[in-house]
Amino acid sequence: MTVRAVREAIPLARPVLGEAEEQRVLEVLRSGRLSLGPLLGEFERAFAGRVGAQHASAVSSGTAGLHLALRAAGVSDGDEVITSPFSFVASANVVVYERARPVFADIDPVTFNLDPDAAAAAVTDRTTALLPVHIFGYPADLAAFERLGLPIVEDACEALGAVDVDGIPVGARGHPAAFGFYANKQLTTGEGGMVTTEDAEIKERIDSERNQGRAPNMDWLDHDRLGFNYRLSDLACALGLAQLERLDEMLAGRARVAAWYRSALGGIDELDLPCEEIGRVRRGWFVFVVQLPRGLERDGVVRALRERGVPSKPYFPAVHLMSYYRERFGHREGEFPVCEDVAARSIALPFFPQMTESQVEQVAESLREVLGR
Ligand X SMILES: Cc1ncc(COP(=O)(O)O)c(C=O)c1O
Region near ligand X per CB under 6 A, out of 121-129, 152-160, 165-173, 244-252: 152-160
What is the torsional sign of CA 79, 115, 255, 12?
positive
| C-beta of residue 48 within 8 angstroms of C-beta of residue 347 | no
Percentage helix, strand, coil for the chain under 3-state DSSP, each rounded to 5:
40, 15, 45
- Using the minimum distance from each CB to ligand X, give the nearer residue, 15 or 62: 62
* Stretch 41-70: interaction string toward ligand X, x if CB under 6 A: --------------------xxx-------
- φ, ψ (nearest 5 deg) of residue 111: -90, -20
User: Is 313 assigned a catalytic role?
Assistant: no
Report phi then psi at 224, rounded to 5: -95, 5
Q: For ligand X, which residue of 83, 87, 196, 291 counts as binding (CB under 6 A)?
A: 87
Residue nearest to ligand X (CB): 62
Binding of ligand X at residue 133 (CB under 6 A)?
yes
The one catalytic residue in 50, 173, 175, 185 is: 185
State which residue, 235 or 264, has the beta carbon closest to ligand X. 235
Query: CB of 268 within 8 A of CB of 367?
Result: yes
DSSP secondary structure letters along 42-91: HHHHHHHHHHT-SEEEEES-HHHHHHHHHHHTT--TT-EEEE-SSS-THH
Quick one: 260 or 284, whose CB is closer to ligand X? 284
Distance CA 91, CA 124 (A): 20
- Show the CA angle centred on residue 78, arms to residues 73 and 81, nearest 5°: 45
Q: How far is the CB of 318 from ligand X (least distance, A)?
A: 13
Scanning residues 184 to 243, which ones bind ligand X (CB under 6 A)? 193
> Site residues for ligand X, window 158-187 (CB under 6 A)?
158, 180, 182
Nearer to ligand X, 102 or 193 (CB): 193
Binding site for ligand X (CB under 6 A): 61-63, 87-88, 90-91, 133, 155, 157-158, 180, 182, 193
Active site residues: 185
